[in-house]
Amino acid sequence: MKKIGVLTSGGDSPGMNAAIRAVVRKAIFHGLEVYGIYNGYAGLITGNIKKLEIGSVGDIIHRGGTMLYTARCEEFKTLEGQVQGIEQLKKFGIEGLVVIGGDGSYRGAQKLTEHGYPTIGVPGTIDNDIPGTDFTIGFDTALNTVIDAIDKIRDTATSHERTYIIEVMGRDAGDLALWSGLADGAETIIIPEAQYDMGQIVERLERGHKRGKKHSIIIVAEGVGSGVEFAKQIEEATNLETRVTVLGHIQRGGRPTGSDRVLASRLGAKAVELLLEGKAGVTVGIQNNKLVYHDITEILKVPHSIDLEMYKLSQELSI
């Protein structure tokens, strides 16, 4: 293998740049040429491809977003789109591809592999919803962004003796909600992976209020429903003044944390190593702080799971 390509796809996440940098530098270290495919699979289809040098990835390790840009591309879900993409790669002489993204991007990578094109997936998403890895690139940064926001909201919640509902991202996964809720001592965390009982939530709020709590923080994962709807229900049931904050896209940006930069550097470099070893159709991950890889088709069959012990703990600590 002499030439490889790298692209970022789907939702961006902080640390994607550090992963791109690692892919490029590791490849050049081993004497390979590296090509950046811009705008995800959309740029693959149209041939928006440029050679990257050591300097192309300078000064990006600390920046959020992705220097290769990203896009959602419906056309790539069709056989025609995939064939066009492979033709572009062949035109540039690119023999292997690293795809950094979430599970949608992995499905694109799986298709390329099925067509015989060596592709490696690197988990980049703030949602932490990719099986086969304990953490995805961007989760830690998003977690800290959410914590920072909740800390600020907590000040106002205390000053005004209000109940605050905070809706956090995560698509169908509750990881960001659970981790931020535990880290911030939220009274209640509502996630898609666990049943909740509105009666119990209300009871807990009223109990807290009676014992003189100045505020209550409730974290709602977007996968469960709208924070605004929860607020309405809670206000009707308790008469406590309730406010909602939907954190939205501030969760996706920002300087990656140290953990995300290190994770991205390790996973990006591992992807290149695997291509050099002749592996294809695999995804890299970190489990128990060891770099691992798994078959992409198998990984896409595994449902996302959450640590329910942690959920239980969050309930025990917020009595």
Active-site residues: which are they?
Answer: 127
Binder among 38, 41, 135, 164 for ligand ADP (CB under 6 A): 41
Considering only residues 216-275, where is the footprint of ligand ADP by CB under 6 A?
Answer: none
Q: Give the shortest CB-249-to-ligand ADP separation in angstroms.
A: 14
Q: Taking phi first (over 0 means left), then psi (-120 to 50 degrees means alpha), and beta for anything else, what does residue 15 get?
A: left
Q: Give the shortest CB-96-to-ligand ADP separation in angstroms.
A: 18
Q: Which stretch binds ligand ADP (CB under 6 A): 28-36, 97-105, 156-164, 215-223?
A: 97-105
136 touches ligand ADP (CB under 6 A): no
| Cα 219 versus chain centre, distance | 18
DSSP 214-230: S-EEEEEETTT--HHHH
Considering only residues 2-21, where is the footprint of ligand ADP by CB under 6 A?
Answer: 9-11
102 touches ligand ADP (CB under 6 A): yes
The CA-CA-CA angle for residues 2, 138, 269, to 5°, reads 25
SS (HEC) of 116-165? CCCEEEEEECCCCCCCCCCCCECHHHHHHHHHHHHHHHHHHHHHHCCEEE
Binder among 2, 62, 77, 207 for ligand ADP (CB under 6 A): 77
Binder among 84, 88, 105, 265 for ligand ADP (CB under 6 A): 105
Which amino acid appears at position 70 of this protein? T
- How many chain residues bind ligand ADP (CB under 6 A)? 17
Q: Which two tokens stand for residue 278?
A: 């002749």
Q: Give the shortest CB-95-to-ligand ADP separation in angstroms.
A: 20
Q: Kindly list the distances between the CA atom of residue 186 and the CA atoms of 205, 316, 319, in Å, as whole numbers in the listed order.
A: 11, 11, 10
Binding site for ligand ADP (CB under 6 A): 9-11, 41, 72-73, 76-77, 101-105, 107-108, 111, 125
